Structure 1
Amino acid sequence: MQGKTVLITGATNGIGRATAEALILQSAEVWLVGRNPEKTAEVQAQLGAAGFLLADLSLRGEAERVARDFAERVGKLDVLINNAGAIYDRRQESREGIELTWALNHLAYFIVTRELLPLLRESRGRVVNVSSAAHVGGKIRWNDPEFKTGYSAWAAYGQSKLANILFTRELAYRERDHGVTANALHPGMVASGFGRNNEGLGKLLKLVQPLSLSDEQGAQTSIYLASSPDVEGLSGLYFSNKRVTEPAAQALDDAAARRLWKLSESYL
């Protein structure tokens, strides 16, 4: 990764941080996106990252701004890793009035990537989208993607992870003539801080922690997709354990992928 520039969202915890650390060890110039100023600065210093940017990615304006700031400050991008995400046991809205799971787990991916496409086209770069096997139970609620009625944490999360794959496939199709590749992945069940912001879900995740992967293990597929020559030119695919894996049938619906793109644009 010598000479390659990488931007990672959600890079101060869990697999995001582990991915950053591994790519820095491969000599990449890694930039971190975090929300907490003190923590993000601390992680940058600990890892020796090239720099960091601050943003609350659940806010559309912040997602746009951080991408533009990066483009102005750095001006080069070879790999974008959309990693930031969360699950919420009760329905919450961002300051912009958008349900948080949808805002952070899907719209942030869409907005940051869209803003950085000019740089990625220049480098014929890679987009790596962290999804989840939770997409298997996901369904896009076209008339109510923000769960204004009938909210369920797992349903909202599953929808967002399905959206990650559909977005990846449509992005790969749209960028096929520009040299930009896009792939999604399942990191595995990771024993990180994910989900610990929820009382009920946090207890459940703590119970399964002994069966879970470490952050370093969970980061392996992200690292592979960001750096391996084996995936050069591959695009629109879903990976698990560093292997191409068939996602659920609803994640292969190209009409749904196009429809999701249009729905996402309606938030801009």
Structure 2
Amino acid sequence: MQCRSGTGDRLYRGQEYHGIKTAVVTGASSGIGLVVARELARDGWRVIAQGRDHARSEAALAEIRSAAPEAQVDMIRADLSVMDKVDAFASQVAASTDRIGLLVNNAGATPSRRMETADGFEQTFAANHLAVFLLTHRLLPLLKAAAPGSQVITTASVAHKFIKDMKWDDLKQAQSFSASDAYAQSKLANILFTREMAKRVKHDGIRVNCVHPGVVQTNFDSHGNLAVKLMYFLGKPLSLTPEQGADTILLLAKGGAPNATGQYLAKRKPAALSAAAQSEQGAARLWDISKELTAKAGQTVG
């Protein structure tokens, strides 16, 4: 195990192997992401995982290695709400492999109050959407190298229906902030990104989908406001385990629904979308705005 100080710590770097599939899984230090990383490792994948919290990342790595002792697993610490750290994480991935068969964009956040990142973005929008947008672009050459058959899977949510549309005139919610709207908007953005990205890489042999995992009992609400915590508490009797929440992601990862792309899935099948999530114009508009915002943060996307 190697430990380094500062953002982007690599907790462990295994030996290089050739001829096996490589997956990148963000938000893998707990919950759904940990289950996905663990089960892919069990299934013979090389896994490059990302976590933000040091202690949880170390514990997750230990669990994955215990479940799959022969697997090659890297755990890299990075705060994906800041765009240059997203870029640095992608560079670390690219330095350790020349191709990726699977990218699982699972890292996410729910806010207790409005906070701005070092780039000046509202944190939820930055962590849940802009990080996905930038990381997928940065890793696109590696996904193309593994095509056809490579995939991008993003954890979205039924919460996208809790907002009428993107707050196009106030994406940063600087004028009026709502924690629930911030989260719902970011999940709507995940779906719009998925649909637009799928169109753009279709002829490269890359499939792009997103998944509603269900209401899962994880530590996801730990930074949420009182309303979020209460929702998770009241929903606990009906909630899913992280293993159940990871089911559709793992189905796609292991070759299920082989023709699905640009889809929003729940319980292993396409699920209903809000009107805003179906908007072709909205998907294209968000794409252009995301390019502009990441460029302002010093990260140009081609």
TM-score interval (norm. to shorter): over 0.9
Residue 238 of structure 1 is matched in structure 2 by 264
Residue 13 of structure 1 is matched in structure 2 by 30
Q: Deviations over 1:129-162 (max 9, x none)?
A: 1000001123211111111122111111111101
Structure 1 residues without counterparts, runs of 5 or longer: none
CA distance in 1, matches of 2:225, 2:259: 43
CA distance in 1, matches of 2:247, 2:265: 11
Amino acid at match of 2:194: T
Q: Does 1:136 align with 2:161?
A: yes
Amino acid at match of 1:254: E
Q: Which moved more, 1:47-56 or 1:75-84?
A: 47-56
Q: Which moved more, 1:102-111 or 1:67-76?
A: 67-76
CA distance in 1, matches of 2:97, 2:75: 11
CA contact under 8 A between 2:100 and 2:142: conserved in structure 1?
Answer: yes
Pairs aligned (count): 266
CA distance in 2, matches of 1:93, 1:149: 13
Residue 125 of structure 2 is matched in structure 1 by 102
Following superposition, which runs of at least 4 residues in structure 1 exceed 3 angstroms of deviation?
Answer: none
Q: Does 1:56 align with 2:79?
A: yes
Aligned mate of 2:143, from 102, 120, 131: 120
TM-score by length of 1: 0.95
State the superposition RMSD in angstroms.
1.4
Aligned mate of 2:90, from 49, 67, 75: 67
Q: Which moved more, 1:172-181 or 1:43-52?
A: 43-52
CA contact under 8 A between 2:113 and 2:225: conserved in structure 1?
Answer: no
User: What does residue range 142-221 of structure 1 map to in structure 2 within 5 Å?
Assistant: 142-200=168-226, 201-221=228-248
Q: Does 1:224 align with 2:251?
A: yes
Alignment CA distance shift 1:18-1:149 (3 Å): same
CA contact under 8 A between 1:53 and 1:70: conserved in structure 2?
Answer: no
TM-score by length of 2: 0.85
Pairwise CA distance, 1:52: 1.5
Amino acid at match of 2:214: G
Amino acid at match of 1:166: L
Pairwise CA distance, 1:264: 0.3
Structure 2 residues without counterparts, runs of 5 or longer: 1-18, 66-71, 295-302
Residue identity over aligned pairs, in percent, reads: 36
Residue 25 of structure 1 is matched in structure 2 by 42
Pairwise CA distance, 1:199: 4.7
Q: Deviations over 1:33-85 (max 9, x none)?
A: 11123432332232025112121000000011101210112222000000011
Amino acid at match of 2:156: S
CA contact under 8 A between 2:32 and 2:245: conserved in structure 1?
Answer: yes
CA contact under 8 A between 2:90 and 2:138: conserved in structure 1?
Answer: yes
Q: Which structure has the larger Rg?
A: 2
